[in-house]
Amino acid sequence: MALGTDYAQQDCTLARALEVVGERWSLLIVRDAFYGVRRFNDFLVHLDIPRAVLTARLAALTEAGVLRKEAYQQSPPRYDYVLTDAGLDLWPPLHALMRWGGRHASRGEPTRTFHHAACGSRLDMTGGCPACEVAQVAPADVEMRWVSDAGRPGRVDQVAAALATTSPLLRPVRGAAGADAFAGGDDPGNS
């Protein structure tokens, strides 16, 4: 087997996790789901991902119990893809990876930081709130702050995850449209 989910030799939980979310695009799909993206076409536009690959990934993530399909119309059958409890539990590794990327793999375009909605403190490396001494802030209590290009006050969004009924983050903010709406990330060098 050339690629994919075959980590059979790697008999450990990291390999098990990578079988589920280790493939190309999978974690980016999960990230978008945290930001409120729910529909096939919205994932398609934001990720600029081949349709066939998106179809396969959504099916695999649903099969693995990370996402679940919720019908929003009957004919033709159309589904929202929303995070399950297992999917919501992916927030700690996801946030940790984003922090690492911001610190060590950034190209110097800091545009987004995550904060505890209750107190406004920036989340630490592990997704906890240092001010409130909360070890793990739930995705629904996380606020995403956009750092404006020109130093003006940025936009603030809730990382609403499966709680959202719409996709507020789909609206482009600074860029033209589409994928630009998700541009940026944690500011590098600030830990």
Name the token pair of 134: 């909360």
Size of the site for a copy of itself (CB under 8 A): 62
Element (DSSP H or E) covering residue 78: strand 78-83
Does position 53 interact with DNA (CB under 7 A)? The reply is yes
DSSP per residue, 93-157: HHHHHHHHHHHHS--S---EEEEETTT-PBP-TTS-BTTTTBSS--GGGEEEEEPPTTSSPPPEE
Pick from 59, 105, 118, 132 the residue near a copy of itself by CB under 8 A: 105
Quick check: helix, strand or coil at residue 44? helix
Is the Cβ of residue 26 or residue 113 nearer to DNA in the bound state?
Answer: 26
Does position 141 interact with a copy of itself (CB under 8 A)? The reply is no
Smallest gap from Cβ 154 to a copy of itself, in A, equals 15
Pick from 36, 139, 154, 184 the residue near a copy of itself by CB under 8 A: 184
- For residues 34 to 53, the per-residue mask of contacts with a copy of itself, x marking binding by CB under 8 A and - elsewhere, is -------------xx-----
